Amino acid sequence: MIELTNITKNYGEVKALDNINLKVFGGEIFAVIGPNGAGKTTLLRIMAGIERPTSGEIYFKGEKVNETNPIRLRENSTLVFQRTALFNATVEWNLAYGLKLRNRPRKEIDEKIKEALEMVKLQGFEKRWARRLSGGEQQRVSLARALMLGTDLFLLDEPTANLDPRSVSIIEETILRINRERQTTVVMATHNMFQAETLAQRATLLIGGKTLQIGTVREILKTPSEHVESFARLENVFSGTSKVAQGGISVIDLENGLKIEAAIRREGKVTLSVRPEDMILSKSQIVSSARNTFKGEVTGISDFGDSVKLRISAGKDFVAQITKRSFEEMQLNIGSEVYLTFKATSVRVV
Amino acid sequence: MSLETEIIEISARAIIVSGSATLLASLWGLPIGITLGLKRFRGRNLVKGFFNALMGMPTVSLGLILYLVFSRVGPLGFLHLLYTPLVMIIGQAVLITPIAVSLTSSTVESIDPDIRDLARTLGASETQASLAVLRESTSGVLLALITSFDRAIAELGVALMLGGNIRGVTRVLTTSIALETTRGELLLGMALTAILLLIVFALNTLVNLIQRRASV
């Protein structure tokens, strides 16, 4: 579907992408996994034809993309941004824009608007003012607007970052649906390994502007080796040595004194991950059935409206996501001491 | 002529003169501002800096320069425009051009990258993407025009030096306020000030409403 050869992109002195070679096949979901600042966005912008690479070539459906006229690529692909961009108009106007450019009849546009809004579960939102919707709804409008076009290639830049859980699942379902029902090729950037694992068939690991590996998601996650350090910059991803213990669990030693219990039986080097939503925070140690409790300090707070993400240093850097309400009730600040608790069954090992 | 009708006439003239000046300035100010906002060319920052600097031009200085241009011995003296409403319109248009240009270009510029990229991802050509940016800029451009009008109706230097404050011909709100004050007719001056403030406040309220709509 799309092939990049020797793509390099420089912004002045900074090398955003360094000699990228990758091929995305028709009909697959391909994930670009990497931490923030790895160059995921730049890569997608180049694939969407809205950014020109400093050097290298792009082939779209076997045809070389001409740098002076990327319109063919632009008409057959679309990109959904991480930071939701909406026209200051109604939902309907936003959705109709792409097809109006393509001079489609009004009747067809109206039908597709209905269909697209149904897909993202926003029926009846046609006349609403797009920018007055909630964050999750806005991102779903962006997705619906991209769905309208029926393009062969769908590019998504962190489509679910910082959204409410309901919107996340609607967006993930929609991605799977268009891939299955319309055979749309999807390339999505994500720093969420679970998402990559559940949605994508193949993936690449992008770190510091370089593709370190291309393969199935599992293959990539199983190879800690020299990329472990880079992995660690993803949320709650750690690697260590696992030892089977009694009672159907394994103890994973993170090699700095930190031991995590996981409900698996595995020996040897593993990479593990815990969803930020699965972390329980408390101001004092709690008695519970959860197997893992660490004492730590809040080192970062980011507000996402309904939920708050906290960076907690407890030997390793953990990320916990809690509701705004709990956050306010607990009166947490940078430097606050907290206990971090999660169940052994919340630990995913790959 | 009664005092009331004269005040109404003066107010109406002020609005017409400054309104025409705003329209005239927008004829060239908007295209320049939009071009500066959309296009990246060499010397663009220089041009922007030039207009930004001119925003602070003292009205009396501009009045003096234009007086020299339009006076009988000046280069445009043959037009015999001095002390007519027309020359006041031209003068105020020149005065507010930098504001119209700067505010238009900065509003277009602030909208540009995101909306342009968005339009592109939905299949727009460069021209279509520019049109999308302009559509999003309308409320900001309107704001630029209203601010320009505010400046025009509230200025004294150009109106006084080019118009000459001739009763029934070129007398506007600011020139009569100045005159009444020097004549000791403070009460009348205050009344005229109230009218001027009312116009400016009404427009600023409008500006606020527009901004609120644009920022959602």
Whether residue B115 lies within 8 A of chain A, CB to CB, comes out as: yes
Number of H helices, E strands in chain B: 8, 0
Q: Which residues does residue A60 pair with via DSSP β-bridges, in sequence order?
A: A2, A63
From A49, A50, A131, residue closest to B216, measured CB to CB: A131
The more confident residue out of A248 and A111 is A111
Residue at A77: amino acid letter: S
Q: Which two tokens stand for residue A249?
A: 């669990």
Output the pLDDT for position A228. Answer: 42
B115 chain-A contacts, CB cut-off 8 A: 85, 87
Contacts (Cβ under 8 Å, ≥6 apart) of A86: A94, A130, A131, A138, A141, A142, B118
Choosing among B114, B122, B130, B139, which should be mutated to test the A contact, i.e. which has the most A CBs within 10 A?
A: B122
Is 60 exceeded by the pLDDT of residue A23? yes
> How high is the pLDDT of residue A285?
87
Residue A74 touches chain B, beta carbons under 8 Å: yes
Measure Cα distances from A115 to A81, A98, A240 in Å: 21, 15, 47
Instruction: Provide the b/e sequence for A61-87 (b: ≥16 CB within 10 Å).
Output: eeeebeeeebbebbbbbbbbbbebbbb
Per DSSP, what are the bridge partners of residue A4? A22, A58
User: Pick from A71, A101, A155: which is nearest to B122 by CB?
Assistant: A101
pLDDT (tens digit per residue) in A214-254: 888 777 766 654 554 455 456 788 888 888 888 888 999 88
Q: What is the pTM of this model?
A: 0.72
Q: What is the residue-averaged pLDDT of chain A?
A: 86
Most confident listed range (A3-7, A140-144, B209-213): A140-144
Tens of pLDDT, residues A281-297: 998 888 888 889 999 99
Q: Write out pLDDT tens, residues A169-214.
A: 899 999 999 999 989 999 999 887 778 878 899 988 888 888 877 8
Average pLDDT over every residue of A27-45: 88
Cβ-Cβ contacts under 8 Å, A132 against chain B: 216
Q: Give the count of Cβ contacts less than 8 A between chain A and B.
A: 55
Strands (E), A124-181: 153-157
Q: What domains does chain B contain, in order, with CATH numbers?
A: 3-215 (1.10.3720.10)
| Cβ neighbours around B34 below 10 Å, total | 20
Residue A225: the pLDDT is 47
- Residue in A101, A128, A129, A137 to test binding to B, most B beta-carbons within 10 Å: A101
Minimal-distance CA residue of chain A relative to B124: A101
- Cβ count within 10 A of residue A103: 6
The answer for A 328-347 residues in CB contact with B (under 8 A) is none
Q: Does CATH number 3.30.70.20 belong to domain A2-218? A: no
Other CB atoms within 10 A of residue A245 CB: 13
Q: Give the mean pLDDT of A26-35.
A: 89
Helix (H) or strand (E) holding A237: strand A237-244
Q: What is the ipTM of this complex?
A: 0.73
Over 90: is that where the pLDDT of A140 sits?
yes
In the numeric block, the tokens 């959204």 are attached to A163
pLDDT of residue A154: 92
On whether any CB of chain B is under 8 Å from the CB of A242, the answer is: no
Q: What is the pLDDT along chain B (216 residues), one digit of tens a residue?
A: 688 899 999 999 999 999 999 999 999 999 999 999 988 889 999 999 999 999 989 999 999 999 999 999 999 999 999 999 999 999 999 999 999 999 999 999 988 788 998 998 898 888 999 999 999 998 889 889 999 999 999 999 999 999 999 999 999 999 999 999 999 999 999 999 999 999 999 988 988 887 776 655
The CATH label, of 3.40.50.360, 2.40.50.100, 1.10.150.80, 3.40.50.880, for the domain at A274-344 is 2.40.50.100
Q: What is the mean pLDDT of residues A251-266?
A: 86
The residue extents of the domains of chain A are 2-218, 274-344
Give B136's contacts in chain A (Cβ within 8 Å): 87-88
**Nearest-CA distance B42 → chain A (Å):** 18
Task: Inform me whether the pLDDT recorded for A307 exceeds 90.
Answer: no
B109-117 long-range contacts, CB within 8 A, separation 24+: B109/B36, B109/B37, B110/B140, B111/B136, B111/B137, B111/B140, B112/B37, B112/B38, B114/A83, B114/A85, B115/A85, B115/A87, B117/A45, B117/A50, B117/A81, B117/A85
158-197 in chain B: CB under 8 A from chain A: none
Strand, helix or coil at A40?
helix
CA–CA separation, A128 and A200 (whole Å): 33
From residue A247, give the alpha-carbon distance in Å to each of A25, A244, A274, A296, A347. 44, 9, 21, 27, 16
% residues pLDDT > 70 (chain A): 94
